[in-house]
Amino acid sequence: MSVVVDDQGITLLEKKKEEGSVPGSGMAQEHVYGVLARAFEPTTVSHYQTSTQNGFSLPFYSARIQSMIHRRNEFHKEVEFKIEASKDHWSEVEEDVEGEVSNRHVFEYLKKRWGEFFWDYGDSLVFGEKIAEGGQAEIFEAAVVTRQNVCEFKYVAKVMRRSGSLVHLKKQWPEGLLRKIDKGCPFSSDTDSCCLIWGATLLEDGRFAFLMHRYWGDLRTLIDLRMQHNMNQGPPFRDDSAVLIMYQIAVAMEELHDQGILHRDLKASNVLVNVTEDDSYSFDPWHDDGFQCAVADFECSVGVVGTGYWRAPEILEVLKDHGNLHDQQIFTQQVDVYSYAMTCYEILTGCIPFEDRPRTNPEFVLAGERPQLPDHIHPELSKLISRCWSADPSQRPTFTDIVKVITEIDRLLSAYRASPKAFICKDCEDAR
């Protein structure tokens, strides 16, 4: 397998900590900009092809990715193509049953109650092009014009779709988020592992918007680019890079849970990719692994019912029996851990969970079926993911446990890269 080898046997996580690019290492976040799309240049991937379907390697072959490759030229704009491709994993939200209320009245209360996090930007907030769209909101380039009339699109505005009830939207904010706002640190500078939220505002059309740090894009988009680039015949990341990504997501989720925040919709499209400002124009999404991940879309999680087969069996069963989730107590930290396992599956294979199965009949999941993991991954990683998507929530590890296990797996992988012969000899001895 082709990997980057450290001849000193230093683990990738240790290296990233030294460079200041692992969550918790104190590295200041930098503003990032979008990267213009470039022509696909197919690469040859042969060492992963253990079995095939229609000439493509398994378990990395994705009918969805193949459709994207074929349909790419149907779209005149890159953003239109990205939005259409993202519809397969849009979030589902419970319906708004509130009556019409004065959003301005509610927003004035929020300003008085929680201070400058809620702010009327007026003409100083300028929107650029729409760059993404999801089940809850549209994402626009955004700039805050300074007193010197400097206008740089260093932010994004997450504009909520609901134009009716800010009262209902407020009910979607986790209590942990409100507590952090009350303390004056709402995920704005005290963390590297979660999406940076600078503030919130009410637009002239009555819609509510969060003002957020601008990232390169989301992890699902990066995976899709890489899967198209390798012609749907191999994983999107090297083993060591995949382990680092999983580690960063686990650290972010550990932090959210420590703050009392349940995500309820963890998936690759809700993980953002960050590169430093110096690297933003030179970042090569098809080859560069020098990026950092930040978990996003936790700020309006109450009322979210997840997405497709990222959802845990206990959620799918209630939806099957009742069609809705009136009892939000069914969402637990263990539900997030299950979704984490499915996100790991995306990272390792490039596929979305059970993309070829209808969403209307989850019986096969309830019966214990899970996606196929690649044979080449470390046994301990396979064992960890299997624990995470256990049918029994009590058997799933916490994110604190997951962080510890992945750190050990990274150490083992690094030791193997430094001295593979030693591992081969040890395996022979164990076999005897």
Angle at 431 between CA 426 and CA 432, to 5 degrees: 100
Asked if 187 and 29 count as a contact pair (C-beta separation under 8 A), the reply is no
Asked if 209 and 200 count as a contact pair (C-beta separation under 8 A), the reply is yes
The CA distance from 255 to 287, in Å, is 29
The CA distance from 245 to 248, in Å, is 5
In a domain, 415, yes or no: no
In a domain, 426, yes or no: no
pLDDT value, residue 19: 53
Query: b vs e for 394-409, b when ≥16 Cβ sit within 10 Å of the residue's Cβ?
Result: eebbebebbbebbeeb
Question: What DSSP element (H or E) covers 413?
Answer: helix 399-418
In a domain, 1, yes or no: no
The 3-state DSSP class for residue 303 equals: coil
Phi-psi region of 27 (alpha: psi -120 to 50; beta: other; left: phi over 0): beta
In a domain, 186, yes or no: yes
In a domain, 85, yes or no: yes
Residue 305, both tokens: 């019912």
In a domain, 414, yes or no: no
**pLDDT tens per residue across span 193-227:** 888 888 999 998 888 999 999 999 999 999 999 99
In a domain, 409, yes or no: no
**pLDDT tens per residue across span 65-113:** 777 777 767 776 777 666 666 666 655 555 544 445 578 889 998 988 8
In a domain, 321, yes or no: yes
User: Which residues lie below 8 Å from residue 228, measured CB to CB, with a gap of 6+?
Assistant: 40, 65, 68, 69, 72
pLDDT value, residue 369: 97
| Total tally of structural domains belonging to the chain | 1
* pTM higher than 0.85: no
Q: What is the CATH number of the domain that holds 83?
A: 1.10.510.10
For the chain, residues with pLDDT lower than 70 are 1-59, 72, 76, 80-101, 150, 162-164, 184-192, 277-281, 323-328, 416-417, 419-432
Residues spanned by the domain of 328: 23-40+49-403
